[in-house]
Amino acid sequence: MPLNIMEAMAAGLPVVATSCRGNRDLVRDGENGLLVRADDVAGFVRSIELLYKSKEFRQTLGEKGRSLVKAYTVDRVLSYLKDIYSIYLKPKGKGTFVLSLDTELAWGSFDLGISKRQRAALLATRPCITKLLMLLKEHNISATFAFIGHLMLDRCASDQGIKHGNLVRPDFSWYPRDWFSEDPASDIAEAPLWYGRDILLQVLEAQPKHEIGCHSFSHIIYGAPGCSRACAESDLSECVQTADMLDLKLISFVYPRNHAGHKDLLFRYGFRIYRGLGNEWFQKIKNSLLRKLCHMIDQFLGLVPETSLPFKEESGLYNTVGNMLYMSRSGIRRLIPVTSRVRKAIRGIDRAIEKGEVFHLWFHPSDLASDPKGLLSGLDRIFSYVRRKIDEGVLDNCTMGQLYERYGTINTSGE
Ligand SMILES: [Zn+2]
C-alpha cells in the first residue's frame, strides 16, 4: 500500500496515479483521483490539466479521498491485526483435560467434626491414592495434587504446649478453639491422618510426572471473615517454606472449601494460578442445603458441565474454573450411580474438545474411600476416554501449572 498516496488523501488532495496494484486499492478513478496507464504520458498530462483547471473538481475528489482513507487509520489497522493474531494464538480445536486433587486427610474437616464413618474413610485413603496413581500411570495422565502444607511433614512438636507458635491463628465463629488444638504434635506413625510425607513422596515418584500444588498449610478458610491478612500471610509463608525444604516450587493453589480470599498475597508468594468456582446454575442458589440438593440433581442427570479457558484476574493470578466435582458416594450421594458421574465427565470432555476449552475435574482422594471399587472403575472409564481422545489428537492433558505456562503468556487481557 503506497503511503504517499494515503498521506495525500489524508491531506485532502486529489491524486493522479498509475493504475497498478496497491494504487488501485486506494484511488477510485473519478471519485477521489484519476488513474492512468503506466505508459500513458499524454493521459497523465491531461489528468493534471483537468485538476488544474477546476477547483471544484479538485475539492470534490479531495474530500472523498479524505473520508476513504479513514479505513486505514492506525487504530483500525491494529485492531484488524489483533483479531488475526488472536485467531491463531488461541489453541482452537483442541480441548484440555485438567485434574486436580485436594489432598487433605483430617485437615479438610476437623473444624466441622469428623464422624466415625469419615474417620474410617480417611484411614482408607492411602490405598485409594495408590490405586489412583496406578490408574493415572496406566492412562498416562498427569494431575495436580493440591497438598495441605502440614501433610508434607512427617512429624511436628509443640513448644511449651503451643503448636506452630509462629503461625497467626484464624478467628472463625464456628471454631472457637485454637486452630491447632487437634494437631497431635507427634509423627506419621502415631497420627497418619495429620501427616502425609509418605503420600507426597509417592506422588513425586509416580509416572507420569504430577504437579504438587498447595491447598493452604492448615486448611484455613481464606475467604471467611475470620482469616485476617496476617493469618493468610503466615499460612502461605509456612507452605512456601515447607515446600522449599523439599525443593518444591508451588505455583498452583486450591482454596480450602473453594472459598477464595487474599489473592494478592498468593501472587506475592509465587502462586500464579488457582482453581475457581464455576458458574453452574445451582451456584446461584443462596440456601446452602438447597444448593447442595440441586448440585445432586445436576449430577444425577449427568448434565453437560461447563468448560472454560483460564483467565487472568486483577491480582495477577489466573483462574482455572473447576468444572466438575467427581462426587463421593457417602451418605445421600450414594443414590447417584457411578454411571451418572462418568456420563457427565464424558460430556464435559466432549464439550471441551468442541469448544477448544478446558474441562477441569476435581475431587478429594479420600472421597474414593466411600466406594473404592465403584468410583475407581468410574475413573478408569473417564481416563480411558481421555486417553482415546488424546490419541485421536483432539485433546490435551496438563496440570494446573502447565495450564498457566500455556496461557500465562498469550491470554493476557487482550494486550
Ligand atoms: Zn503440626
What is the 157 CA–ligand 1 centroid distance (Å)?
7
Closest CA to 164 of 136, 149, 147, 183: 183
Q: Given this model, what pLDDT does residue 150 score?
A: 97
Checking if the pLDDT of 93 tops 90, the result is no
Q: Given this model, what pLDDT does residue 84 score?
A: 72
Cα(396)–Cα(90) distance, rounded to whole angstroms? 14
Cβ density class 353-388: b for 16+ within 10 Å, e for less: beebbbbbbbbbbbbbbbbbebbbebbebbbebbbe
What is the 332 CA–ligand 1 centroid distance (Å)?
33
| pLDDT tens track for 338-382 | 999 999 999 999 999 999 999 999 999 999 999 999 999 999 999
Quick one: pLDDT band at residue 415, thresholds 50, 70, 90?
A: very low
What is the 162 CA–ligand 1 centroid distance (Å)?
10
| pLDDT tens track for 223-267 | 999 999 999 999 999 999 999 999 999 999 999 999 999 999 999
Provide, rounded to the nearest whole percent, the portion of the chain with pLDDT above 90: 80
Cα(254)–Cα(328) distance, rounded to whole angstroms? 19
What is the 180 CA–ligand 1 centroid distance (Å)?
7
What is the 116 CA–ligand 1 centroid distance (Å)?
22
Q: The pTM is what?
A: 0.76
Per DSSP, which regions of 74-205 are E strands?
95-103, 144-147, 158-159, 162-163
Q: Average pLDDT over the chain, rounded to whole? A: 92
What is the 199 CA–ligand 1 centroid distance (Å)?
17
User: What domains, with CATH codes, occur in the chain?
Assistant: 3-72 (3.40.50.2000), 89-407 (3.20.20.370)
What is the 217 CA–ligand 1 centroid distance (Å)?
10
What is the 322 CA–ligand 1 centroid distance (Å)?
29
Checking if the pLDDT of 322 tops 50, the result is yes
CA 365 to chain centre: 21
Residue 221: CB atoms within 10 Å: 21
Provide, rounded to the nearest whole percent, the portion of the chain with pLDDT above 70: 97
Dig out the grid coordinates for 151 from the structure.
501433610
Segment 56-76 mean pLDDT: 93
CA angle (361 as vertex; 356, 364 as ends), nearest 5: 165
What is the 406 CA–ligand 1 centroid distance (Å)?
36
Q: What SS3 state is found at 345?
A: helix
What is the 205 CA–ligand 1 centroid distance (Å)?
25
Q: Given this model, what pLDDT does residue 332 score?
A: 83
Checking if the pLDDT of 414 tops 50, the result is no
Cα(355)–Cα(263) distance, rounded to whole angstroms? 29
Checking if the pLDDT of 102 tops 90, the result is yes
Q: Given this model, what pLDDT does residue 87 score?
A: 63
Half-sphere exposure of 152 (CA within 13 A, CB side): 25
Cα Rg of the chain (Å, integer)? 31
Q: What SS3 state is found at 408?
A: coil
What is the 344 CA–ligand 1 centroid distance (Å)?
39
| pLDDT tens track for 149-162 | 999 999 999 999 89
Dig out the grid coordinates for 282 from the structure.
445451582
In this structure, are residues 104 and 219 in contact, taking their beta carbons and an 8 Å threshold? yes
What is the 325 CA–ligand 1 centroid distance (Å)?
29
Quick one: pLDDT band at residue 289, thresholds 50, 70, 90?
A: confident
Cα(7)–Cα(1) distance, rounded to whole angstroms? 11
What is the 364 CA–ligand 1 centroid distance (Å)?
21
In this structure, are residues 361 and 324 in contact, taking their beta carbons and an 8 Å threshold? yes
Quick one: pLDDT band at residue 20, thresholds 50, 70, 90?
A: very high
Residue 414: CB atoms within 10 Å: 6
Checking if the pLDDT of 412 tops 50, the result is no
Helix H, strand E, coil C: the string for 318-383 is: EEEECCEECCCCCHHHHHCCHHHHHHHHHHHHHHHHHHCCEEEEEECHHHHHHCHHHHHHHHHHHH
Q: What is the DSSP letter of 107?
A: G
